[in-house]
Structure formats: C-alpha cells, structure tokens
A and B are shown apart, each in its own frame.
Chain A
C-alpha cells in the first residue's frame, strides 16, 4: 500500500506539472491567436487602406459609404435630440444634458468621429472599433450602464446592468438603442480577417492599431547581439576548461565564478549594465541596443560555457589522438577536429541561450528598452534604445493608458514571444536527440 500510494503521489506531481503548463499556455495561445485571426469591422479595412495602403480601394470606399448610410439614422436621431435639447427648458436640459454627452462620446468610441465633426489628432480617435469583439464591448457600454449595488452591506458591491434606454425613456432618443442593437452588424460589417502582418507592421498611436514589428526587430537585435559577444567568449572559455585547464586552484576559482555568474539575479545584471556600460564606460550616451546586448551577453555567458564544455568533452578522445598522431598541434586539433565534432552540441547551447536572451526583461529595463519607438536600422543599434517584446509586454499590460483596449496586442506579443522561444528550444531538443543518437551509434 505504501508502495502504491507513493507511486501515485509521484505521478500526481508530474501530472500537476503538465497541468500547469497547459493552464499557462492554453489561455495565452487561445487569446493570442485572436491577434492574428479575428473578425475585423469596416473600420479595420478603412484603417488598413488609409495607413498601410492595403486592400481594394474602390470596394472599401463603397463599403465605408454603405456602412455610413446604415449609421445615418443613428446620427439623425441624435441630431434631432440635440435640437430638442436646445429648445427645452432648463430642467430638461440639466436632466438629459450630461447623459446625452456621455452617449455622444460612447457612440464616437464605437463608430469613430461623427460625420461633419472635426478630425481628432490621435489616430485612435479617427477610427471606430476595428475589431468586432471590441465593438460588441463598446455597444454593451452604450446599451447598459454598469452600476454597483451596495444594498447588502455584508458583501461587496454587486455589479448590475441597467439599460441606458431607461434613462432616455419617453424622449425622441429612445428608439436609438433598439436600432443600434438590431443593426450593429450592418453598421460595422464584421468579417473574418487574417492579420499575419501583425508581426511585420509598425504600430499606430502606441499600439492601438497596427503590429509589433519594432518590438520583434528589437528582440532580434538584442538576442543576436548578446550572442555575438557571448558565443566567442563562452566557446573559447569552454575550450580552455575542457582541453587546457588541469585541476589547478585557478581553474576551480574560475568554475566557482561561472556558477556564481549564473546565480546573479537578472535585475542585478540590469543595474550593473546601467552602472558600468552606460554610466562608467559610456558605450552609448544613454540606453542602447549595444548596452543591452552586452548586459544580456553576461547573463547567458555561463549557460554557453557550460553547455559548450559538455559538448567538447563529449567528443571521443580518439579523434584527438588521431589528429595529434598526424602531427597536428593542440590548437590545430581543437580547431580542425574537436570543434567541428562538437559543433552540433555547441549549437544547441547557443540556440537555448538565444531563447533565454530574447525573453529576458529585467536586464534590459535600464540598459536598452523603451516603450515606443521605430524599428531601428542596423547602425542605430549602437546608440539608440529599442522597443522589445518582453519589455513591451510588461509595459502594455501594466503602464499603458488603455490596458483593456489593447488586450489582443498584449496577447499577440506574448504568443509571439512564447512561440519564438519554444521554437528555439524545440529545435535544440531535436538537435540534441539527434546528436545523442549519433553518439550512441
């Protein structure tokens, strides 16, 4: 019985681990998918035409006109009420003035600026809701008012939805709500849209519209830059440790340093990067991709060293003996025989470290990352900071002015980052499996 329960508990622990992975990735993948495939409204197609020049111009203009036509009754009702409001007495005005203004704003939120009104400066104000799911949320805000019911003092306030139509009951505006509810599809024209260019588009108005190219590119720059510094250092150190170092004091000190470096919290790397690369030796006047790459390189260095050393040590001794018996010197043997044989293993470690560098946030907060920025040209990486996926996920999820409005962008970024990192890791796993197969026979 002890035996059985023991096994069961162990298996449960493993199953729990599986479950946590599924719980973690499930919702993220499900919703992240929505950044790429969703129901786009007519506003989306208008935006794409205006800002990116995409789509069939004639058709979209016709569609926009058609949608505008179906929206006309809404604006007519509102205009009528506006006139009515002006004519009525003070009481009436003070009763409906504020609610009507609120309604006007909500409608603008849903449909974009009313015909004839002036164009807002911010891009987010120039268009209505581009996504059908968001449009429905906005419609809900028009149709219902959220109120909290505090009548039961023993509990927290409970949310109740009050139809906004009740507010305007008996006025000329009352039909508006039924009209919106029934005709919203005609007014917004949702259609299933595949937006794969989400990855390669720049963003408009701090991610209200558009894609994540600057972030993606910044992540590439940072990760690859980090590897440019970490790989030579790491592989040469690994060669030293595996082929040259004996068992001296110095070597064991070196090993201790490597494991200590691996244990340094990532935020401390960030502070160090700020204090050293930027404030002390001024690799760039302020944050830059270069400084961030240096910092990330230090962070992944131990991983590269350890994995490369293992890969080098796994090369059969007989190769080395063969080369030396032909008169090759030690360094020559390393370069011409050992490294090529260890290359797949070293590559595995590089790929894993690449994923690690791409996903780290804390080290780049003070050294490389900004919230909003253009995609950088290669030479600009020496001196300019960049947006990057991990940092912007944090930023959009916590510090953005309209966190709830751009959930799809946040999820899209998260999914992109996860897919990137997992693809790298799966490549590494497959590569490693093939190496071990080869080594076995």
Chain B
C-alpha cells in the first residue's frame, strides 16, 4: 500500500486538527472547573441532609444535658409549661405509633388490592382514568385533609358515629370476608378431585362464610351501639392518614407488580392456573419486596404528617385506655412540635425548646432508617431480578 501522500491539502487538514499547548491546558482546566462546579451544585442534596442532621442534633443535645433522657422515654406526664416542667413523651410516641398503625390497617389492604387491580385486572382504558384520581389524592394539600377531618368528618363522627363505623366496617370487611372465604375453600379442597372436591367446596364455603358472617354481625351490633364522645380522635386521624398514604402505596406497589415479567405470568397461565392463583402464588410473591417498600413509604408518610393530626387528633398527651381504643383523642410527635414551638419559640435555649428538637430528631432518624431499609430492599430485589 502506498504511503500517505502529503499534499498541501492534508497539511492544512492536519493543522486544523491540532490544538496548541495553551489551548489544550485551557481546555482541561475549563473542563475541570466546570465539572467541579457541577458536582458542587449536584451535592446540594447531600449538603442539605448533612445540615439538617447537624442542626437538629445541635439543638437537640442540650435537652439531654438539662433533663436527661429517662423521663422523656419512660414517663407519660407531659407538662412542659409548668413551673416544675415534666417532659414524659411516652404517650406522644404512643400516639404517633397508634395512628400510624391505624393508617396502615386502612391503607395497606386497600392500596395493595387497588395496585393489583390496576396492574392485572382492569383494562388499560380504565387505568388511564384511575391514575389521575390517585394523583389528585396525592396532590391535595395536607391542610385540606386536616380541615376536612376537623370540620366535616369529626362532627359527623360525633353525631352518628356508631352507624357510620358499622357501615364503614361492612364496606371494608365484607369483601375481605368473601375473598378470604373463597381463598380458604379453594385451599381446603385443592387436594381433592371431582365430586368430592365440589362437596368439600360447598361445605367449606358454607362453614367459613357462616363464621365470617356471624363475626360481621356481632361487629355490627357492637359498633352501632357505640357513642363517640369526641370526633377528634385517633380513628378519625387514622382514616384520613390512611387515605393520604394510599397514593404512595398504590403507585409504588403497582410499579413493583408491573415489574414482574409477563413471561412469569404467562408461564403460570400455561400451567393451567387461574388468574387469581397466578396473582396469589406467582405475582404477589415475586413483587413482595416492592410491596414491602411501598408499605414502608406509606408508614413514613403517615408518621411524618403534621397538619391532619394537629387539627383532628384531639392533642391529648395520654395513652388511651385500653391502649387500642381508637375513639379517644391522642397526640403525636409532629403535632407536639407544631403546637409547642409557637410558645417555645421565644424561649430559645429552654428545655421546652430543645425537647422539640429531640422529637424532630426521632422523626428524622425514623424516616432516614425506613428510607434506607426500603432502598436496600428494593436494591436487593433488583439484584435478584425480581423487583
């Protein structure tokens, strides 16, 4: 092959390609500077998180010096404004836990079922309608939920609490009972064949269904007889928080369910499984980490919510008696911070001020750990190849 023929043209080409040393250095310096600026700006979230931790801890620490930690964690006596101030926050922690539990009970079954429905059952066109509804539920500001809970829901509950509760219980538990009956009877008779199977199915449906029905009727009787003294209570807040946590739970678990491959589903159908069997035995187990992450995020939403609990929980810093009595007013960490800081604001430096930062620190730690947990769960699942 002939060597490169150096003509005037290729000389010019070559000169055009090269960069002088100065330009080269300029370019690399420029690139470095640009990149550093970019990284500095991109680190703003990292800096924000560090600062948040630093400043919350900085203002929380003095409380431990002034008051110590024992009373805070073990006593239920919360009298921060007295002469002899008492800072027992146990009841407040309990309140936060109680309403979060309530919200989980309301939101998780409904949210996961709705997600299943969206990913596997409903036709595409209906999903297109449901999605915006979920987005709207998520978009409504929390103070609006709080206003609703306080001004509309609480009086309603006070007036016809019993019958309302009963109706709500029917709406929620009756379908669940039917579902449970179906699942149980199916499981009980799965080993049998032919006629025996049919008989066993009928018998088990009658038995289990009857049992559930009796339970529901008793519950109805109990609930209708209830009188609710105050509409601003843990139940009110739990229901509203549950509705607020729904969008998170639905959309995260729907993503998880959608990530379960089509082939897995089709494999199950190919083996002759029905849709319900496929969902229960294949899809949900495969998506369980994602659903778990969804529940964690929902819990975070509920425990971190301020306005609803502040407005509609009754703000009574004591443990209900018995502890699961959702009809009594409670008080949460977030509401305590919001409510007490107004008064503690101008006494910066007092134990009253710092104790609120201790509470914020607890919330922050909880959120941080839950977040890490959900991330780790999701990451592991991704590695396994089944979100």
Contact = CB atoms under 8 A, between A and B. Distances in A.
Question: Is there a direct interface between A and B, measured as CB atoms under 8 Å apart in the complex?
Answer: yes
B135 A425 contact: yes
Contact of A17 (B122, B137, B363): B137
Contacts of A359: 139-144
B22 interface: no
A6 B54 CA distance: 49
A301 B48 contact: yes
B332 to A, nearest CB: 10
A308 to B, nearest CB: 12
Interface string A340-358: 0000000000001001101
Interface in A11-29: 11-14, 16-18, 20-21, 24, 27-28
Chain A contact surface mostly: helix
B386 interface: no
B144 A9 contact: no
Which bracket fits the contact residues of B?
A: 35 or more
Contacts of A429: 132, 135
B69 interface: no
Contacts of B24: none
A17 B175 contact: no
A237 B132 contact: no
Given A233-B41, A254-B45, A422-B136, A6 B275 contact: yes
Contacts of A21: 133, 136-137
A408 B89 CA distance: 37
A24 B152 CA distance: 9
Contacts of B140: 24, 359, 418, 421-422
A274 interface: yes
A15 B300 CA distance: 25
A397 B311 contact: yes
Interface stretch (A57-65, A180-188, A261-269, A311-319): A261-269
B356 interface: yes
A24 B341 CA distance: 30
Contact of B152 (A12, A13, A27, A267): A27
A429 B134 CA distance: 12
A305 interface: yes
A359 B138 CA distance: 12
A14 B118 contact: yes
Contacts of B250: 17
A414 interface: yes
Interface string B271-307: 0001111010000000000000000010010011111
A8 B305 CA distance: 32
A28 B151 CA distance: 10
B338 A302 contact: no
B276 A2 contact: yes
B246 A17 contact: yes
B300 to A, nearest CB: 5
A100 interface: no
B41 A264 contact: no
A275 B182 contact: no
Interface stretch (A35-43, A160-168, A361-369): A361-369
A414 B117 contact: no
A331 interface: yes
Contacts of B51: 272, 276
A266 B304 contact: yes
Interface residues of A, number: 87
B7 to A, nearest CB: 24
A17 B107 CA distance: 10
A256 B110 CA distance: 29
Contacts of B372: 256, 260
A253 interface: yes
A283 interface: no
Interface stretch (B31-39, B73-81, B217-225, B318-326): B31-39
Contacts of A236: 38, 41-42
Contacts of B279: 6
A171 interface: no
Contacts of B146: 394
B365 to A, nearest CB: 10
Nearest to A363: B306
B72 interface: no
Interface in A83-135: none
A267 B46 contact: no
Contacts of B118: 14
A393 B364 CA distance: 27
23 contacts: A3-B275, A6-B179, A7-B275, A17-B114, A21-B133, A24-B144, A24-B145, A28-B148, A261-B52, A262-B371, A263-B371, A264-B52, A265-B305, A271-B337, A302-B45, A359-B139, A359-B144, A362-B334, A394-B146, A397-B151, A414-B144, A422-B136, A426-B132
Given A236-B42, A268-B364, 17 more contacts: A8-B178, A13-B109, A17-B250, A24-B148, A28-B144, A244-B38, A270-B338, A280-B55, A305-B45, A352-B139, A359-B143, A361-B143, A362-B334, A365-B341, A394-B311, A417-B143, A418-B144
Interface of A: 1-3, 5-14, 16-18, 20-21, 24, 27-28, 156, 232-233, 236-237, 239-241, 244-245, 253-254, 256-272, 274-276, 279-280, 298, 301-302, 305, 331, 352, 355-356, 358-362, 365-366, 390-391, 393-394, 397-398, 407, 410, 414, 417-418, 421-422, 424-426, 429
Sort A-B residue pairs by CB-CB distance and give the 6 closest, nearest first: A359-B141, A265-B304, A10-B117, A240-B42, A13-B113, A362-B306
Interface of B: 34-35, 38-39, 41-46, 48-49, 51-52, 55-56, 58-59, 109-111, 113-114, 116-118, 121-122, 130, 132-137, 139-148, 150-152, 171, 175-176, 178-179, 181-183, 186, 227, 243, 246, 250, 274-277, 279, 297, 300, 303-307, 310-311, 334, 337-338, 341-342, 345, 348, 356-357, 360, 363-364, 367-368, 370-372, 375
